[in-house]
Chains A and B, each alone.
Chain A
Amino acid sequence: MNRPPLPDSPAPASPQATIRAIGRAAPQGRAGHPLYLKEMDYSIVQQCMHCGLCLPTCPTYDATKLERNSPRGRIALMRRIADGEMEVTEAFAREMYFCLGCLACETACPAGVQYSRLFEYARADIEHSGVLHTPRRDFIRTASLKVLFTNPNLLRGLGRLLWAYQATGMQSLVRRLGLTRLLPRKLREMEPLTPEVKPRFSDSLIAPVETPPAPPRYRVGLLTGCVQDLIYPDVNRDTADVLLANGCEVVTPRAQFCCGSLHAHNGELETAREMARRTLDAFDLDGLDAVITNAAGCGSHLKTYGHLLHDDPQYAERAARWDAKLKDIHEWLAAIGIAPPRPGIAPMRVTYHEACHLCHGQKITRQPREILRAIPGLELVELPESTWCCGSAGVYNITQPEMSQELLRRKLDQVAQTAAPIVATANPGCLVQIVAGLRERGCAVEARHPIALLAQAYREARA
Chain B
Amino acid sequence: MEPLITDMIALLGRENVLFEPEHLAVYGFDGTAALSGTTGCVVFPRTTEEVVAIVRYAARHGQPIVTRGSGTGLSGGSIPLSGHLVLCLVKMNRVLELDEKNLTLLVEPGVTTITVSELADKVGLLYPPDPGSMKISTIGGNVAENSGGLRGLKYGITRDYVMGMEVVLPDGECVFLGNKCVKDVAGYSMKDLFIGSEGTLGIITRVLLKLVPRPQSRKTLLASFSRMDAAAETVSAIIAEKIIPCTLEFLDKITIRCVEEFAHIGLPLDAEAILLMETDGHPAVVAEEAARMEEVARKCGAVSVQIAQTAEESVQLATARRAAFSALARVAPTTILEDATVPRSELARMVNFIQGVGERYRLRIGTFGHMGDGNLHPTFLTDERNTEEMERVEKAMHEIFDYAISLGGTITGEHGVGLAKKRFLPAALGEGSLGLMKSLKRALDPQNLLNPGKMFDLDPT
Contact = CB atoms under 8 A, between A and B. Distances in A.
Interface stretch (A109-117, A210-218, A227-235, A268-276): A109-117
Nearest to A42: B333
B114 A56 contact: yes
Contacts of B335: 49
Given A67-B27, A109-B326, A110-B262, A51 B90 contact: no
9 contacts: A21-B15, A24-B15, A47-B333, A49-B335, A50-B31, A65-B91, A77-B26, A110-B262, A111-B327
A76 B136 CA distance: 18
A95 B70 contact: no
Contact of A47 (B26, B114, B262, B330): B330
Contacts of A65: 44, 90-91, 93
B261 A112 contact: yes
B133 interface: yes
B33 A49 contact: yes
A26 B18 CA distance: 9
Nearest to A91: B22
B339 interface: no
Interface residues of B, number: 42
A43 interface: yes
Contacts of B133: 51-53
B20 interface: yes
Interface of A: 20-21, 24, 26, 28, 43, 46-53, 55-56, 65-68, 70, 72-73, 76-77, 80, 86, 89, 91-92, 95, 109-112
B393 to A, nearest CB: 15
Contacts of B72: 51-52
B325 A51 contact: yes
Contacts of B328: 111
Given A56-B136, A67-B71, A46 B261 contact: no
B135 interface: yes
A114 to B, nearest CB: 11
B226 interface: no
Given A49-B326, A76-B26, A77-B26, 14 more contacts: A47-B329, A51-B329, A52-B31, A52-B70, A52-B136, A53-B136, A67-B27, A67-B71, A76-B25, A80-B25, A86-B22, A89-B21, A110-B262, A111-B330
B249 interface: no
A89 B22 contact: yes
8 shortest interchain CB distances as A-B pairs? A111-B329, A26-B20, A110-B326, A110-B323, A73-B26, A110-B327, A46-B333, A91-B22
Contacts of A67: 23, 26-27, 71
Contacts of A76: 25-26, 29
Contacts of B20: 26, 28, 91
Given A65-B90, A76-B29, A53 B23 contact: no
B318 to A, nearest CB: 14
B50 to A, nearest CB: 15
Interface in B239-264: 258-259, 261-263
B22 A77 contact: yes
A42 to B, nearest CB: 9
Given A51-B31, A51-B133, A110-B262, A92 B18 contact: no
Contacts of A49: 31, 33, 326, 329, 334-335
Interface string B262-281: 11000000000000000000
Contacts of B130: none
B112 interface: yes
A43 B71 contact: no
B378 to A, nearest CB: 16
A109 B333 CA distance: 15
Contacts of A95: 22
Given A49-B33, A53-B323, A26 B22 contact: yes
Interface string B314-358: 000000000111111110011100000000000000000000000
Contact of B135 (A47, A56, A89): A56
B26 A112 contact: no
B25 A86 contact: yes
Given A67-B26, A73-B26, A112 B330 contact: yes
Nearest to A112: B330
B94 to A, nearest CB: 13
A26 B15 CA distance: 12
A43 B330 CA distance: 10
Nearest to B329: A111
A303 to B, nearest CB: 18
B95 to A, nearest CB: 16
B26 to A, nearest CB: 4
Contacts of B145: none
A48 B333 CA distance: 8
Contacts of A89: 21-22
A49 B33 CA distance: 7
Contacts of A80: 25
A28 B114 CA distance: 37
A378 B20 CA distance: 53
B136 A86 contact: no
Interface in B388-432: none
Nearest to B70: A52
A66, A67, A77 — most chain B CB neighbours (10 Å): A67
A92 B22 contact: yes
Contacts of A50: 29-31, 71
A11 B335 CA distance: 50
Contacts of B90: 65
A245 B23 CA distance: 55
Contacts of B33: 49
A159 B385 CA distance: 54
A26 B72 CA distance: 25
Nearest to A109: B326
Contacts of A70: 26
Interface in B126-141: 133, 135-137
Contact of A68 (B15, B26, B325, B329): B26
A26 B20 CA distance: 7
A109 B327 CA distance: 8
A307 B13 CA distance: 47
Nearest to B264: A363
Contacts of B31: 49-52
A213 B376 CA distance: 63
A53 B326 contact: yes
Given A56-B112, A110-B326, A66 B18 contact: yes
Contact of B136 (A20, A21, A48, A55): A55
A76 to B, nearest CB: 5
B32 to A, nearest CB: 8
Interface string B57-76: 00000000000001110000
A76 B15 CA distance: 22
A88 to B, nearest CB: 11
A451 to B, nearest CB: 26
Contacts of B25: 76-77, 80, 86
A379 to B, nearest CB: 21
